[in-house]
């Protein structure tokens, strides 16, 4: 979707003249797909793929003198994109027990651009870009001891590109 907001202001206020244009443009879109296959009563596969894109454009122009069209201008642009992939497997060893395992991948990109301009002819522009990837492998076991007691235990390992390291996360849940 897309939204446009305009907070412009023009005129004399408390002995001061101000003429401003203050606009925000938001854009957000995404797609996803999912595939599931039940190979047998005991074995299930699932694959998910998603992509999203968010962009925020902000423009501010202002003049404090009615004889000068624009004195300052600021333009900010933020872009965030994310792509992810998930592969999940479930094996029901019995009606009370299941083994779950899989792989998740996610990549995020962030771009930030700022332009600041003051007349006459003072200009500064800064761009920052960053990206990160997350790769996760997991395995867990669901053990339903009775209708009122269930134990879930397992582990996951995360590889985060920005840290160039791995993080182990053991899990235990009793319901």
Residue-wise pLDDT tens digits, 118-130: 776 677 888 888 9
Which residues touch 22 (CB under 8 Å, ≥6 apart)?
Answer: 6, 7, 8, 9, 59, 60
**Which tokens in the block code for residue 74?**
């600021």
**Of 79, 62, 66, 72, which Cα lies nearest the Cα of 25?**
79
In whole angstroms, how far apart are CA 122 and each of 19, 64, 119, 125?
20, 17, 6, 10
What pLDDT band is residue 7 in, cutting at 50, 70 and 90? low
Listed in order, strand segments (DSSP E) in the chain are: 2-6, 9-13, 16-38, 43-63, 72-94, 97-118, 122-144, 150-160, 165-174
Percent of the chain at pLDDT > 90 equals 52
Query: Cβ atoms within 10 A of the Cβ of 78, count?
Result: 16
Q: What is the tens place of the pLDDT at every residue in 56-96? A: 888 887 777 667 665 777 888 889 999 999 999 999 999 89
Give backbone dihedrals phi and psi of 89, rounded to 5 degrees, phi first: -125, 140
For residue 3, what pLDDT is reported? 67
Total residues belonging to the chain:
175
2 band by pLDDT with thresholds 50, 70 and 90: low
Burial (CB count <10 Å: 0-12, 13-18, 19+), residue 8: exposed
Q: Are 55 and 79 in contact (CB under 8 A)?
A: yes
């Amino acid at each position: 979707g897309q939204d446009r907001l305009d907070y412009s202001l023009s005129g004399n206020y408390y002995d001061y003249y101000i003429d401003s244009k203050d606009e925000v443009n938001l854009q957000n879109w995404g797609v996803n797909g999912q595939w599931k296959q039940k190979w047998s009563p005991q074995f299930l596969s699932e694959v998910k793929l998603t992509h999203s894109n968010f962009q925020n454009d902000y423009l501010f122009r202002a003049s404090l003198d009615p004889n000068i069209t624009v004195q300052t201008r600021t333009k900010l642009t933020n872009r965030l994109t994310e792509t992810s992939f998930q592969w999940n497997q479930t094996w029901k060893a019995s009606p009370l027990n299941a083994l779950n395992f899989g792989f998740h991948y996610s990549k995020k990109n962030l771009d930030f651009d700022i332009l600041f301009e003051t007349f006459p002819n003072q200009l500064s522009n800064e761009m920052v870009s960053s990206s990160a990837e997350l790769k996760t492998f997991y395995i867990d076991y669901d053990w339903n001891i009775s209708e009122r007691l269930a134990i879930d235990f397992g582990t996951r390992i995360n590889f985060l590109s920005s840290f160039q390291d791995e993080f182990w996360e053991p899990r235990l849940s009793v319901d």
